[in-house]
Amino acid sequence: MTESAHEALPRRLTVFLVDDHAMFRAGVRAELGAHVDVVGEASTVGEAVSRIAATLPDVVLLDVHMPEGGGRAVLDAMRKSHPQVRFLALSVSDAAEDVIGLIRAGARGYVTKTISPDELAAAIRRVADGDAVFSPRLAGFVLDAFASRPDVPIADPELDQLTNREREVLRLLARGYAYKEIAKELYISIKTVETHVSNVLRKLQMSNRYELSRWAADRRLV
pLDDT interval class at 150 (50, 70, 90)? very low
Contact present, 49 and 3 (Cβ < 8 Å): no
Residue-range definition of the domain harbouring residue 30? 14-147
pLDDT interval class at 145 (50, 70, 90)? low
Q: Supply the CATH number for residue 44's domain.
A: 3.40.50.2300
- The predicted-structure confidence for 28-82, as pLDDT tens digits, reads as follows 999 998 899 999 999 999 999 999 999 999 999 999 888 777 888 999 899 888 8
User: In total, how many domains does the chain have?
Assistant: 2
Q: Judge if 122 and 180 occupy the same domain.
A: no
Domain contains 8: no
Domain contains 1: no
pLDDT interval class at 110 (50, 70, 90)? very high
Buried b (16+ CB within 10 A) or exposed e, 54-93: eeebbbbbbbbbbeebbbbbbbebbeeebeebbbbbbbbb
Q: Judge if 162 and 80 occupy the same domain.
A: no
Mean pLDDT of 185-193: 85
- The predicted-structure confidence for 155-178, as pLDDT tens digits, reads as follows 577 887 888 788 888 888 877 788
Q: Judge if 55 and 161 occupy the same domain.
A: no
Q: Judge if 215 and 110 occupy the same domain.
A: no
The residue among 97, 124, 147 that closes a domain is: 147
Q: Judge if 134 and 192 occupy the same domain.
A: no
